[in-house]
Amino acid sequence: MNPAPDMQWSADALFAKARLYVDRALEHTEDDELFPFWASLSLEFLSRAALAYVHPTLLAEVEREDDGRNLLYALGRQPNVGKFSPKSIPLAIVYRRCAAVIPEFVEPRRKLCEMITSRRNEELHSGGSPFTAVATSTWLPGFYDAARVLLASMGKDLADWLGAEPAGRADEMLRAMGDEAAKQVQKLISARKTIWGGIDAVEQNAKEETAKKEATPDKGHRVDCPACGSVALVKGDSIITQPPKADEGGIQVKHSVLPDRFWCFACGLEIRGHALLYAAGLGNVYTATVRYTPVEYYADDVEQYAKEKYGGDGYDEYCNE
């Protein structure tokens, strides 16, 4: 079987197309409806390039082809079928796979990419004009932020994709976004500190004791509240799962979790979103460990089992370290 004569799914080819489309976007001002349209196309090829950088097989459509033709193509082989045209996975699945292989491509970034794609699809497949009069502040900083993560996974940066001058403007926008997150979270913390300071010592002590009882490892990862100093919790989604290990108690599986939720049972402070948690000094990745008996571990659906047994998200609500 001969190698495929061309590889449309190589990371280099897909990245080149991402650059082509972002160049077309940059021919327009950011408030022009054609700017987000071309930018959305560039984002698609950037995300596909990030998957292909890991391996092109991550792009292969396999659900409808039982002869493995698309996998063969992704492996650099020419399938022995007539009139072959390689089929890749839909963009929604591309984003989900990016989240699976790129730890920093967390849910807020994935959701923003899906929103941009939804508007692109509406533009192409309906009579609507979703890119008309869209405020850049609602999507552009997040767009550059998601792109930066995808690029970093390939050992590239914004300048490799945008060029030096546009990359400088994007970096400035991202710095401003970080500053805004810091201001927002400090307002939340300051407001709760003020409320906490107005409570008498007896009530404070009672609330602190309640927090100690409520903020247990089965509910999340314990941290100190930045507003009142009481024991509080963060939780989030698994970004890396380590291989299972057997010990005297059975089988344990460790997950690296990126927090995106915080709450304090004492003062009532709540913070949502990794950017805000990061700005508050609460965004560090933590380890969550789930322990199973052999029977539990080898159940058909381990994650579903954990959810049913421990509630919530299963792994991130049990044995947090």
Residue 257's pLDDT band, with cuts at 50, 70 and 90, is: confident
φ, ψ of residue 262 to 5 degrees: the values are -140, 140
Bigger pLDDT: 36 or 287?
36
Instruction: Look up residue 246 and give its DSSP letter.
Output: E
- Split at pLDDT 50, 70, 90, the class of 317 is very low
- Joined tokens for residue 123: 């533009």
Range 212-221 average pLDDT: 92
What band does 241 get if pLDDT is binned at 50, 70 and 90? confident
pLDDT digits (tens, 9 = 90+) for 66-118: 678 888 888 888 887 878 888 899 999 999 999 999 989 988 899 999 999 99
Residue 143 has pLDDT above 90, yes or no: yes
Short-list 87, 86, 99, 8, CA closest to 47: 99
pTM attached to this predicted model: 0.66
* Helix ranges restricted to H, the chain: 11-25, 34-54, 69-74, 91-101, 107-125, 140-152, 158-162, 164-197, 201-214, 274-279, 294-297, 302-310
Question: In this prediction, what percent of the chain has a pLDDT beyond 90?
Answer: 52
- 18-30 per-position pLDDT tens digit: 999 999 999 988 8
pLDDT of 67:
79
| DSSP for residue 3 | B
Q: Identify any residues that bridge with 287 across adjacent strands, giving them in sequence order.
A: 256
How confident is the model at residue 65, as a pLDDT?
65
**43-55 pLDDT per residue, tens:** 999 999 999 999 9
Q: Is the pLDDT of residue 234 over 80?
A: yes
Phi/psi at 303 (5° precision): -65, -40
3-state secondary structure of 60: strand
Per-residue pLDDT band for 228 (boundaries 50, 70, 90) equals very high
The per-residue pLDDT for 23 is 96
Two structure tokens written together for 137: 């502040």
pLDDT at 193 over 90: yes
Pick one of 1.20.120, 1.20.1300, 1.10.10, 4.10.240 as the CATH number of 11-162. Answer: 1.20.120
pLDDT of residue 306: 56
Token pair for 266: 């004492």
Question: Which tokens is 42 given?
Answer: 């560039």
Q: Which range, 67-81, 217-231, 289-303, is most confident?
A: 217-231
In angstroms, the CA 208 to CA 63 distance is 53
Give the contacts of 167 (CB within 8 A, at least 6 positions apart): 157, 158, 159, 161
Query: Tell me, what's the pLDDT at 303?
Result: 57
Top-confidence range, 65-79, 153-167, 301-315: 153-167
pLDDT at 321: 47
Structure tokens that stand for 295 in this block: 């029977």
**Which of 131-135, 210-214, 248-252, 302-306 is most confident?**
210-214
**pLDDT at residue 264, as a whole number:** 97
Q: What is the pLDDT of residue 124?
A: 93
Residues with Cβ within 8 Å of 73's Cβ and at least 6 positions away in sequence, in order, are: 4, 9, 60, 79, 84, 86
Residue 233 has pLDDT above 90, yes or no: yes
Cβ contact 273:308 at 8 Å: no
| Torsion angle of C-alpha atoms 228, 229, 235, 238, degrees rounded to 10 | 140
In this structure, which amino acid lies at residue 151? L
Asked if residue 229 has pLDDT above 50, the reply is: yes
pLDDT recorded at residue 1:
37
Higher pLDDT, 98 or 178: 98
List every span in the chain annotated with CATH 1.20.120: 11-162
Return the pLDDT at 152.
97
Write out the two tokens for 22. Answer: 């972002």
d(CA 170, CA 275): 17
